[in-house]
Amino acid sequence: MRKIFAITGFINYLIVIFLNAFTDLGHKIIIQNTVFKVYDGQMQIVLTAIVNALILLPFIMMFSPSGFLADKFPKNKIMEYASIFAILITLFITLSYYQGWFYTAFAMTFLLGVQAAIYGPAKYGYIKELVGNEFISSGNGAVQAVTTVAILGGIIFYTVLFEGLLDNSFQTKEDILQLIAPLGWLLVVSSIVEWFLTSKLPNKMLQTSQKKFQYARYIKGAYLVKNLHIMRRKKEVFEAIIALSLFWSISQVVLAVFGEYAKSELGVTNTIFVQGVMALAGIGIVIGSIMAANFSKYYINIGLVVVGSVGITLLVFLIPFVQSMSLMALMFTLFGIFAGLLMVPLNAQIQFITPRVHLGTVLAGNNFVQNIFMFSFLVLTTLFAYFGMNAEILFYLMSFVGLYLFLMLYKRYSVMTFWAIIELVFRMRHNYKFVGLENIPHANAVLLLGNHVSWIDWIILQLGVERRINFMMDKEIYNWRGFHTIFKKGEAIPLSQKAFKDAFKEAYNRLKKGKVVALYPEGEIAMTSDIALFNRGYELIPTDYEGVIIPFFIDGIFGSIFSKYKPEMKKNFFARREITVYFAPPVSRDTKADELQKIIQKMKDKYETK
């Protein structure tokens, strides 16, 4: 994570991201707090939903133009000019505050939404250009964390100042705006600083686009049809967009109705308490985003999204059962953590899979679909409020939406979910480091051969390798009751003395298909720290597949509770083990067992922790 901050322009970019979210959120909070002070019940929910809808509608309307701009022009320049637009908007908003023009200030939320709709695809598309594929998960984690801190800071900052500037003299919403009018200058100053910093961002556009925007095609919807087709080319990308849309829809409804729920059911009338509890979701998102980036150090850990969806669903379902604001604060924090685990991998996956030439269009499409979903859910919220249905019903309804989100994600990422959970559990006791991963090719067959020191070597090995490994394992263990289904789904290859030729034949078939196969030539878990004599069984695998042998050495797990060797001097139970896996450069497919043993012995002598 530290290396990414050394990239030229990255810190500057993060500050820009912070100011952009901080400014947009500031005006929205001022309007929402004004609504909270003046209106009650159904009217409060309706107006809060409309405020959110005014921000969402521009993302729907500007889908094609914003995607075109992000693909046509340098993304840093789009952010720069959009920041100038923000300065003009915030100046007019400030004027509206001083004049007490509530409905004008209310409507200006729409223009801020237009600015954000143009800004968005360029802002997120710039991540991949700035940090590259190597740091794409860390980049998204940092951006999500900074954005959330900005939202959290904006909620607290503007709400505290809002309450501080108010006195008991106000009678109308116009009075409130005039009392808090100086806050408008903070919006203006933030926009000016943001513009200055965006003007300093490096241009990372590799190739000039020759695209031309035709207004007639936009009006007729031709661009919309074409861009939707581009967005749906890759099924995994489109499903990720739908998943993010469902998550944001759930979040929008929860945030839209929580204020009224806290006021009517919990008796809380101070905006600082209400906004503060919701802001804790922001702290959670920062934590969850950092966790997601950390767990995606070597590849995008997409299995985390299912874990996130489970947590979100359960928490939304439990909200109506909680009567304590303190417990509610904890729940919103947890909600944010699970949200971070879901958002960061999905956003990184969309950016990673999408070709650069269409990235702006796809990211604009992501905004388009998300905002259609959120707008539809807000309309639903408004209708529920209009007909007198309480917030509790909406919480239950959102938990059912969360259940659907979980089922959709689990269907696609069930295997990755298993490994994400395994990693979450084992990271409590171990720190993992993988050296030489670049030696493992992204395509073609790989035969992984190395030392065997514990019962969990297969887990350790897989955690650092993005490609799924087909392990060769003892047939008796393969048939263990309760584990057989897992080993079978994980495509393990059972190996026994009676049918070892069949096992190596199956390994050959897997390698011919370009898969990764792993085997421990020692044959059993080591009883001593020495490398045991390597068996020659793997030499039975024909070498006419297209691939390589990668030797590996596992260090740090020998002598643990998972190894057969138990040292007399045991380590402190609370001390986390440092486990490192070293992958050597590829060797020839016809490398013999004695040569392979020497290679791994050299790795042991060089790297083993004493």
Q: Could you tell me the pLDDT band of residue 247, with boundaries at 50, 70 and 90?
A: very high
For residues 187 and 328, state if they share a domain. yes
Per-residue pLDDT tens for 172-185? 888 888 888 888 89
Examine residue 207 and state whether it is found in any structural domain, yes or no. Answer: no
Residue 342: predicted pLDDT: 94
Examine residue 354 and state whether it is found in any structural domain, yes or no. Answer: yes
Percent above pLDDT 90 for the chain: 26
For residues 163 and 267, state if they share a domain. yes
**Phi-psi group of 449: left, alpha or beta (phi > 0 → left; psi -120 to 50 → alpha; rest → beta):** beta
For residues 197 and 229, state if they share a domain. yes
- The residue among 403, 425, 447 that closes a domain is 425
- The residue among 368, 396, 425 that closes a domain is 425
Give the closest residue to 396 by CA, choosing from 282, 288, 257: 257
Residue 355: predicted pLDDT: 81
At 477, list the tokens: 């263990």
For residues 258 and 377, state if they share a domain. yes
Q: Could you tell me the pLDDT band of residue 566, with boundaries at 50, 70 and 90?
A: confident
Predicted confidence (pLDDT) at residue 593 exceeds the cutoff of 80: yes
- The residue among 372, 398, 425 that closes a domain is 425
For residues 378 and 496, state if they share a domain. no
Residue 582: predicted pLDDT: 95
Examine residue 2 and state whether it is found in any structural domain, yes or no. Answer: no
Predicted confidence (pLDDT) at residue 313 exceeds the cutoff of 90: yes
Examine residue 409 and state whether it is found in any structural domain, yes or no. Answer: yes
Bridge partners of 553? 582
Examine residue 170 and state whether it is found in any structural domain, yes or no. Answer: yes
For residues 170 and 227, state if they share a domain. yes
Range of 111's domain?
11-201+215-425
Predicted confidence (pLDDT) at residue 2 exceeds the cutoff of 70: no
Give the closest residue to 12 by CA, choosing from 206, 20, 137, 363: 20
Percent above pLDDT 70 for the chain: 92
Residue 568: predicted pLDDT: 61
Predicted confidence (pLDDT) at residue 232 exceeds the cutoff of 90: no
When pLDDT is averaged across residues 250-263 and rounded to a whole number, the result is 79
At 422, list the tokens: 């395994």
Predicted confidence (pLDDT) at residue 1 exceeds the cutoff of 60: no
Quote the CA–CA distance of 64 and 218 in Å, as a whole number.
7
When pLDDT is averaged across residues 44-56 and rounded to a whole number, the result is 76
When pLDDT is averaged across residues 575-604 and rounded to a whole number, the result is 91
CATH number at residue 104: 1.20.1250.20
Predicted confidence (pLDDT) at residue 296 exceeds the cutoff of 80: yes
Q: Could you tell me the pLDDT band of residue 571, with boundaries at 50, 70 and 90?
A: low
Predicted confidence (pLDDT) at residue 218 exceeds the cutoff of 70: no
Predicted confidence (pLDDT) at residue 123 exceeds the cutoff of 70: yes
CA 201 vs CA 8, 68, 190: distances in Å: 9, 21, 17
Q: What does pTM read for this prediction?
A: 0.73
Number of structural domains the chain divides into: 2
Average pLDDT, the chain: 84
For residues 352 and 435, state if they share a domain. no
